[in-house]
Amino acid sequence: MTRRCLKISWITLSVVLLSLGLFMAPLGAAANTLVFMGPSNLFQPELQMAFDNFEKRTGIKVEPMSLANWNQLNDKLLTMIAAGIPPDVVYGDDIRIFSYAEQNMLEPIDSFIARDNLNMNLYPRPVVEGIRIRGKIYSLPTAVSINGVYYHADIFARYGQSELPTDWSSNEFLWEDFVNLVKRLTIDTDGDGKPNIWGMQSFGTYGGFDMIGLWNVTDCDRERTRYTGTDPKVINALNQIMSLYTQNQVTGGVVVQNTAATLTLHSWYLTNMKNQMDAGNRINWKVGVLPKAEVRVSQGAFLSMAIPKGGANKEDAWKLVRYLAYEPEGAMLFTRAENRTPVHRDTMRNYVDYWNSIAPNANVHVFADATQVIWRWNLVCGFGGTEISNHLNKAFQKIRSGETPVQAAIAEIAPSIQAILDDSRRQATN
């Protein structure tokens, strides 16, 4: 993403606005009306209920913008800011929101937090620290999408494997235990020389680049100035992760199709498990903690809402952000609509109760507890995160196929990733 959209001529801008359907009465300019921007396909019906309740309490109407995906959010936000009609509130994940903050497109909200004496202890400390961008807070957190191990409890039981632990502070279930487990559960049941059950469907994102935190290492500094993926300690972590795909060859199958025993993935996948259950798939699934290598942490994506610069209704926008992300009534409705792991203390309890009513023995509290051990993947948390992810995915494909060893694959993408980080710093100074 670049900021070239902010410098286009009015004629060009007019064409873009027409194509995006944005030539109308200035959005958010109507008295007592706020525009909320976020991908509508992510939300459940409770979102409108939250907006309706907010209007009843404040007299301020909320107009949600209908967006199909994150890319459309980027396009429309940049175009609206260039046109001088930014939305009042924008919702997004860390790739989007942190990038906007790095490019000085958002209002810092530290002064609002201090003025209204918000109790930030209602959120887990790692989450509050995680949303800081170069020392400032630009958004209030609503949820995280955080990693855990989904597993097929019947496959575990059939082959005599113990259930996974659910305590993130436990010293049980080490990395070596996990590797041995998925090797034991990669099974040829019909003697044809090919596994019918695989120990692992997948392990994290892009093959597991987001899992290096388990070795207490990082591939990028907190300020996102330097790519450190070539560091020997990072390469060691990646070698161990990638051995699941190369040396050990334990990956294949699908948990919900009874052909894989484990799936290490974010909490958003809970909805897919519920959909499977609603469709009649009575798979006996549960959730456990990640294995411990040097430490036991869980990479999470931060979701939050912010106030774009240039808006005419900053005070009312702050009221909406505070209502949806902080005040219990609004936060409860929003997190139900959001369908992620909430981070507000009150909404977290409701989340666990909700999932216990759907899957009583699935141990979904593992995801809520993981907010205390969340690991911030600095590399993708901000400007250029999508492009960096694309480089990582290409490297993973080369590693998995055996075309390129881990160290060589990382060395190949390192200059491109560093160039993106350098561009991020230049954008921040423009």
Q: What is the pLDDT of residue 94?
A: 94
pLDDT band with cut points at 50, 70 and 90 for residue 222: very high
Q: What is the spatial distance between Cα 303 and Cα 127, in angstroms, rounded to a whole number?
A: 10
The pLDDT mean for the chain works out to 91
112-160 pLDDT tens trace: 999 999 999 999 999 999 999 989 999 999 999 999 999 999 999 999 9
pLDDT band with cut points at 50, 70 and 90 for residue 71: confident
Q: What is the pLDDT of residue 42?
A: 77
Q: Is the pLDDT of residue 330 over 80?
A: yes
Q: Enter the tokens of residue 278.
A: 């609603």
Phi, then psi, of 318 in degrees rounded to 5: -60, -40
Q: What is the pLDDT of residue 18?
A: 42
Q: What is the pLDDT of residue 27?
A: 44
Show the 3-state SS of the chain: CCCHHHHCCHHHHHHHHHHHCCCCCCCCCCCCEEEEEEEHHHCCCHHHHHHHHHHHHHCCEEEEEEECCHHHHHHHHHHHHHHCCCCCEEEEEHHHHHHHHHCCCECCCHHHHHHCCCCHHHCCHHHHHHCEECCEECEEEEEEEEEEEEEEHHHHHHCCCCCCCCCCCCCCCEHHHHHHHHHHCCECCCCCCCCCEECECCECCCCCHHHHHHHCCCCECCCCCCECCCCHHHHHHHHHHHCCCCCCCCECCCHHHCCECEEEEEHHHHHHHHHHHHCCCCCCEEEECCCECCCCCEEEEEEEEECECCCCCHHHHHHHHHHHHCCHHHHHHHHHHHCCEECCHHHHHHHHHHHHHHCCCCCCHHHHHHHHHEECCHHHCCCCHHHHHHHHHHHHHHHHHCCCCHHHHHHHHHHHHHHHHHHHHHHHHC
Q: What is the spatial distance between Cα 42 and Cα 73, in angstroms, rounded to a whole number?
A: 12
pLDDT band with cut points at 50, 70 and 90 for residue 15: very low
Residues pairing with 265 in the sheet: 148
Q: Is the pLDDT of residue 12 over 70?
A: no
Q: Are 87 and 363 in contact (CB under 8 A)?
A: no
194: burial class by Cβ within 10 Å (0-12, 13-18, 19+)? exposed
More confident residue, 272 or 339: 272
Residues pairing with 156 in the sheet: none
Q: What is the spatial distance between Cα 101 and Cα 133, in angstroms, rounded to a whole number?
A: 7
379-418 pLDDT tens trace: 999 999 999 999 999 999 999 999 999 999 999 999 999 9
Mean pLDDT is lowest, of 15-24, 30-39, 306-315, 395-404, for 15-24
76-116 pLDDT tens trace: 998 999 899 999 999 999 999 999 999 999 999 999 999 99
Q: What is the pLDDT of residue 425?
A: 82
Q: Is the pLDDT of residue 211 over 80?
A: yes
Q: What is the pLDDT of residue 24?
A: 40
Q: What are the residue ranges spanned by the domains of the chain? A: 4-144+300-362
Q: What is the pLDDT of residue 289?
A: 98
Across the range 329-343, mean pLDDT stands at 92
Q: Is the pLDDT of residue 3 over 70?
A: no
Q: Enter the tokens of residue 24.
A: 């109308």
Q: Is the pLDDT of residue 325 over 90?
A: yes
State the pairing for strand pair 33-39/89-93. parallel
Q: What is the pLDDT of residue 43?
A: 86
Across the range 26-34, mean pLDDT stands at 62
pTM: 0.90
Q: Enter the tokens of residue 97.
A: 């929101």
Q: What is the spatial distance between Cα 41 and Cα 215, in angstroms, rounded to a whole number?
A: 36
Whose structure tokens read 């090797």? 183
What is the residue type of 321?
Answer: V
Q: What is the pLDDT of residue 308?
A: 97
Q: What is the spatial distance between Cα 99 and Cα 89, in angstroms, rounded to a whole number?
A: 15
Q: What is the pLDDT of residue 430?
A: 61
pLDDT band with cut points at 50, 70 and 90 for residue 429: low
Q: What is the pLDDT of residue 358?
A: 94
Q: Is the pLDDT of residue 16 over 90?
A: no
- Which CATH class for the 4-144+300-362 domain? alpha beta
